[in-house]
Amino acid sequence: MSDRPAIRHVVFFSARDKADIPRIVEGLGQLADIPHAQFFEVRRNSRSDAHSTEVDVIVYAEFASAEDLAAYKAHPIYENSTATVKPLRELRIAADF
């Protein structure tokens, strides 16, 4: 049996206005208070890859099950975070694996 998480959740964001990146990070940081993730972090893109500059902020989370991920997305804090960040973002790309 592996100790790797069942689901890794990665979401990439770009800001409409680069001045709003701190507000986006703060808004997404609320998600850390949702209890369903085994691991959670929000980071600004370090921009170390010169060929890809679209992404400003990354959310990375690990979940034990699809049910935990669904509960995370159904949590009221998730709705609050979305309401804060959606007007500030241009791009959002999510992947679960």
Position 2 scores a pLDDT of 61
pTM attached to this predicted model: 0.91
Q: Give the DSSP H/E element, type plus range, for residue 63.
A: strand 57-63
Position 1 scores a pLDDT of 47
Q: What is the average pLDDT across 2-30?
A: 94
Position 52 scores a pLDDT of 85
Q: Which CB contacts under 8 angstroms, 24+ apart, belong to 72-77?
A: 72/9, 72/31, 72/34, 72/36, 72/37, 75/34, 75/36, 77/30, 77/31, 77/33, 77/34
Confidence check: pLDDT of 85 > 50 = yes
In angstroms, the CA 80 to CA 83 distance is 5
Tell me: the pLDDT tens digits for 37-55?
Answer: 999 999 999 999 888 889 9
